[in-house]
Amino acid sequence: MSTQNAIQALQRFVSAHIIGQQNLVDRLLIALLADGHLLVEGAPGLAKTRAIKILSQGVEGDFHRVQFTPDLLPADLTGTEIYRPQDGSFKFQQGPLFHNLILADEINRAPAKVQSALLEAMEERQITVGAVTYRLPKLFLVMATQNPIEQEGTYPLPEAQLDRFLMRVNVHYPAAEMEKEILQLNRGEAREGRTNAVVGQVLVTQKDLFDARQEVLNVYMADSLEAYLLHLVLMTRTPNEYGDDLAKWVQYGASPRASIALDRCARARAWLAGRDYVAPEDIQSMAYDVMRHRIILTYEAEADGVTLDQLIGELISRIAVP
């Protein structure tokens, strides 16, 4: 089985057990292929946790879920040194971040110092305890979730830390016909005595995944499309050049991380679709998830009810497609 066939088999496996959230499934796979991390925001009960748990069933590697709470400490993520009285030495006990796939559930429930410990590990791919630095696994993906409904007692992530996530994905309620399929799937799992637990098989090895990442990097992007991609990001920094309405909506534009992320994600989306070239719709589709958390609106835009997705859609509409 080719690398691409293996990834597509994984996509079918996850899609068969996550009904009505195809966008989330695709974004998880794109994050894997682009070697980045995912911030998922949506109401409770929309299969956010289930999605990465089922993904972990088909990928070679370890999975760990961390429930973020106000009393969590950085050492609860990174690990700590344990004193051994028998010989008077200290031994480092690894924390949950030393797994391959991490679910950081309700990341905004933990204080800033805990969030910083996670985000530093995401960016540097290493953890320093005392004078010793420990490398994290080569395959390392964090999917963090946020509940947008209950904000009391939460610690919102600063924009500079949000920038470290490859994508910010919004999850919505499934359509009515999909919810019927969810009921049927849940009943079937309950009859087999495995509710919320899917027994899968490893469909993608770590070698498959690393090979796929190299293939994604080799996906062709025309010079005109690369210029289009950069134009889309740069437009957020000088909105006054494209209209007075945009100028009064945007306070801060997207960073160079947005350009890098959009390039990687557009290539991954094209590869996942079975193409060896990037099309304009790959860039346009990924622009929302890549830039949604990297643009800061003005108070005037918020007062006018302008959303980030509306702004990004307006940016796309004002740039000619090559």
Residue-wise pLDDT tens digits, 107-126: 988 888 899 889 889 989 99
How confident is the model at residue 147, as a pLDDT?
81
Q: Is the pLDDT of residue 151 over 70?
A: no
Which superfamily is assigned to 3-207 in CATH?
A: P-loop containing nucleotide triphosphate hydrolases (3.40.50.300)
Q: Which residues does 4 contact at the CB level (< 8 Å), separation at least 6? A: 212, 215, 271, 274
Strands (E), 113-220: 126-129, 132-135, 141-146, 167-170
Q: What is the pLDDT of residues 18-65, one digit of tens each?
A: 999 999 999 999 999 999 999 999 888 899 999 999 999 999 999 999
> What pLDDT, on the 0 to 100 scale, is given for residue 50?
92
From the options 1.10.8.80, 2.60.40.3120, 3.10.180.10, 3.40.50.12280, give the CATH code of 219-317: 1.10.8.80
> Which range, of 1-10, 143-152, 173-182, 281-290, averages the lowest pLDDT?
143-152
pLDDT beyond 80 at 130: no
226-248 residue pLDDT tens? 999 999 999 999 888 887 888 89
User: What pLDDT does residue 242 have?
Assistant: 80
* Residue where the block lists tokens 């740069």: 234
Rounded Cα distance, 233 and 283, in Å:
11
Query: 32 — phi, psi (to 5°)?
Result: -60, -45
Cβ(145)–Cβ(41) below 8 Å:
yes
Mean pLDDT, range 261-287, rounded to an integer: 96
- C-beta neighbour count of 154 within 10 angstroms: 16
Helix, strand, coil % over all residues of the chain, rounded to 5: 50, 15, 35
Task: Determine the length of the chain.
Answer: 322
CA atoms within 13 A on the CB side of 60: 11
Question: Residue 226: phi, psi to the nearest 5?
Answer: -65, -40
- Greatest Cα pair distance, the chain, in angstroms, is 71
Look at residue 199 in the predicted model and tell me its pLDDT. 61
Give per-residue pLDDT as tens, 153-211: 578 888 878 899 999 999 999 988 899 999 988 888 888 776 555 666 788 999 999 99
What is the reported pLDDT for 1? Answer: 64
Q: Where in the chain is the domain with CATH 1.10.8.80?
A: 219-317
Where do the CATH 3.40.50.300 domains begin and end in the chain?
3-207
- Chain-centroid distance of CA 16 in Å reads 20
More confident: 246 or 294: 294
262 close to 278: Cβ distance less than 8 angstroms: no
pLDDT tens figures, 72-92: 999 999 998 888 888 878 888
Structure tokens at 45: 């009960």
Report CA dihedral (100, 102, 294, 315) to the nearest 10 degrees: 80
Q: Do residues 73 and 204 make contact, with C-beta atoms less than 8 angstroms apart? A: no
What does the pLDDT read at residue 89? Answer: 81
Residues 6+ apart with CB under 8 A from 146: 39, 40, 41, 106, 107, 108, 157
With a CB cutoff of 8 Å and minimum separation 6, the contacts of 230 are 259
